[in-house]
C-alpha cells in the first residue's frame, strides 16, 4: 500500500489463473472501473478548474498536436508501459486494458458532456469527477489483474532505486505536471483537490470492492521465486 492508501500490485506478478464465473466477475468490475475512470477524467476536463496530474501532461500534448485527449492518453500509457521493460515489470490484463479502455472512455464522455459556464456547476463537476475517480480506482485495483502503467512505473522505480514511494511518486508527478503546464495543460483547483483527496477516498472504498486475490499457478509461483 502506498502513502495515499492505494494497494500496490506486485511488480513481478503475471496474469493470475482464473476461470469461469470468477473470471467474468473480475473482468466485469475491471472494465466498469476503467470506463468510470475515463468519465471522471472528462468531468474534470469539462470543469476547466484543473485536471488530474497526468492529464495536465495529456492535455498539454493534445493542445500542441491537435489529437484527442484519449488518443494522447493511450500513446503516453503505451510509452510508459515500454519503460517497464528495463524495470523488469510484468503487465497483467488490467494493465493493458488500462491503456486502451480509459482513453476510449474519456473521448466518448467528452463527446457528450457539456462545458458548463456557471461556476457552481463547474465545481460540482470537480467534486463528481474526484468521487467517481475514487470509486473507479478502487474498482479496477480491487480485481488484482495488474496495475495501471503509471502506477507500475512508480513501483518499478521504487524497487530499482530503493527510494521511498512518497519521493518517487512525488518526483514523477511534479515532473509530469510541470511539463504539462508548460505545454498548456490546465493546472488549477481541481488538480489540488484530486491530489489531496483521491488517496484517502480509495483507501476508504477499496475494502468494500476488493475481491480476494486469485491463487497463482505452480508456474507463476516458480516465476515469483526467481
| pLDDT averaged per 10 residues, the chain (length 226) | 46 49 89 97 97 95 95 95 87 93 98 96 97 94 90 85 82 92 93 90 89 59 41
Three cell numbers written together for 12: 513481478
Question: Which residue, chain included where needed, has cell 495536465?
Answer: 56
The secondary structure element, H or E, covering residue 149 is helix 149-161
The single-letter DSSP state of residue 203 is H
What is the spatial distance between Cα 217 and Cα 226, in angstroms, rounded to a whole number? 15
How wide is the angle at C-alpha 94 spanned by C-alphas 93 and 95, nearest 5°? 90
Cβ proximity of 126 and 41 under 8 Å: no
Q: Which residue has the cell 530499482?
A: 160
| Residue 73: predicted pLDDT | 96
Q: Which pLDDT score, from 0 to 100, does residue 68 have?
A: 97
Helix residue ranges, H only, 67-118: 69-82, 84-87, 93-112
Q: Which residues contact 144 (CB under 8 A, 6 or more apart)?
A: 9, 16, 26, 210, 211, 213, 214
Q: How high is the pLDDT of residue 20?
A: 65
Rounded to whole angstroms, the Cα distance separating 199 from 3 reads: 8
Angle between helices 165-182 and 53-65 (to 10 degrees): 30
Give the span between the Cα atoms of 219 and 224, in whole angstroms: 9
pLDDT given at position 215: 58
Task: Name every residue whose Cβ is closer than 8 Å to that of residue 73 and which is 6 or more positions away in sequence.
Answer: 41, 55, 58, 102, 103, 106
Q: What is the maximum alpha-carbon separation in the chain?
A: 58
Contact 31, 97 (CB under 8 A): yes
Amino acid at each position: 500500500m502506498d502513502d495515499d492508501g492505494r494497494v500496490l500490485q506486485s511488480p513481478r506478478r503475471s496474469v493470475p489463473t482464473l476461470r469461469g464465473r470468477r473470471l467474468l466477475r473480475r473482468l466485469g468490475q475491471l472494465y466498469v472501473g476503467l470506463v468510470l475512470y475515463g468519465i471522471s477524467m472528462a468531468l474534470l476536463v469539462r470543469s476547466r478548474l484543473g485536471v488530474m496530474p497526468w492529464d495536465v501532461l495529456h492535455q498539454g500534448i493534445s493542445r500542441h498536436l491537435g489529437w484527442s485527449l484519449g488518443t494522447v492518453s493511450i500513446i503516453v500509457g503505451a510509452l510508459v508501459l515500454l519503460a517497464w521493460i528495463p524495470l523488469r515489470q510484468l503487465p497483467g490484463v488490467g494493465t493493458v486494458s488500462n491503456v486502451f479502455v480509459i482513453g476510449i472512455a474519456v473521448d466518448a464522455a467528452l463527446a457528450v458532456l457539456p462545458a458548463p459556464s456557471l461556476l457552481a456547476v463547474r465545481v460540482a463537476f470537480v467534486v463528481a469527477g474526484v468521487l467517481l475517480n475514487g470509486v473507479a480506482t478502487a474498482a479496477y485495483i480491487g480485481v488484482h489483474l495488474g496495475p495501471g502503467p503509471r502506477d507500475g512505473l512508480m513501483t518499478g522505480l521504487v524497487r530499482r532505486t530503493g527510494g521511498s514511494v512518497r519521493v518517487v511518486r512525488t518526483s514523477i508527478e511534479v515532473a509530469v505536471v510541470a511539463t504539462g503546464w508548460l505545454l498548456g495543460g490546465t493546472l488549477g483547483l481541481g488538480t489540488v483537490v484530486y491530489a489531496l483527496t483521491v488517496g484517502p477516498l480509495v483507501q476508504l472504498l477499496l475494502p468494500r470492492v476488493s475481491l480476494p486475490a486469485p491463487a497463482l499457478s505452480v508456474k507463476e509461483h516458480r516465476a515469483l521465486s526467481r
